[in-house]
């Protein structure tokens, strides 16, 4: 039996810098994705703006768009958004501006295509669960829903699904209320 090629963070440094292309490594496997669609970008932007406003008002933490999460040399990903508390950020940030420890919240906005959906719904869910993320939101702008996974005893577990007409909340973010229908607009649908 031969061992397969395992990519590391060092390999990312040798990848060509192509605008609109994103490279991620999960358990040594390389994932390449293209620039997101307008619907994806709109949903991500709306959540970013609302989380940032809540964070400034509460002074509880920070939201970052497309940060580098480098959990290990073979686990180097770029989620759409993360929220991290002030106390956690101080110990999580490395000298290169990446997060080495799990933020409390990770948000992935699905890109179209089966490969992208499997990566976010299964592979990244498993990674974030193993690495100690407390809450994981999967925003499906095509189906107009947000699936929320919360930390259970040993892993992230399904907690709620919010659809049009619903209001996204989190016990981790007291006072955060977001109408799910604000994630989509007729201009990007």
pTM score over 0.75: yes
CATH number belonging to domain 36-183: 3.90.1570.10
Structure letter (DSSP) for residue 102:
-
| pLDDT tens, per residue, the chain with 189 residues | 446 789 999 999 999 999 989 999 999 999 999 888 888 999 999 999 999 999 999 999 999 999 999 999 999 999 999 999 999 998 999 988 899 999 999 999 998 889 989 999 999 999 999 999 999 999 998 899 999 999 999 999 999 999 989 999 999 999 999 999 999 875 555
For the chain, the distance separating the N- and C-terminal CA atoms, rounded to the nearest angstrom, is: 48
Residue found by looking up tokens 């490279």 in the block:
23
What is the distance between the alpha carbons of residues 80 and 113, in angstroms, rounded to a whole number?
17
For residue 16, how far is the Cα from the chain centroid? 23
């Amino acid at each position: 039996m031969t061992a397969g090629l395992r990519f590391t963070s060092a390999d990312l440094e040798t990848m060509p810098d192509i605008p609109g292309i994103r490279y991620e490594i999960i358990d040594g496997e390389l994932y390449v994705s293209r620039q997101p669609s307008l619907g994806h970008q709109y949903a991500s932007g709306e959540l970013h703006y609302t989380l940032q406003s809540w964070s400034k008002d509460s002074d509880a933490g920070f939201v970052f768009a497309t940060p580098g999460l480098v959990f290990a040399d073979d686990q180097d990903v770029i989620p759409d958004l993360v929220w991290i508390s002030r106390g956690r950020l101080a110990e999580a940030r490395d000298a290169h501006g990446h997060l080495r420890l799990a933020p409390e919240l990770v948000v992935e906005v699905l890109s179209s295509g089966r490969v992208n959906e499997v990566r976010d719904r299964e592979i990244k869910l498993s990674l974030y669960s193993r690495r100690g993320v407390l809450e994981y939101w999967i925003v499906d702008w095509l189906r107009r829903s947000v699936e929320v996974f919360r930390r259970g005893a040993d892993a992230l577990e399904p907690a709620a699904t919010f659809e049009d007409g619903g209001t996204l909340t989190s016990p981790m973010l007291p006072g955060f209320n977001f109408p799910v229908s604000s994630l989509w607009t007729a201009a990007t649908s």
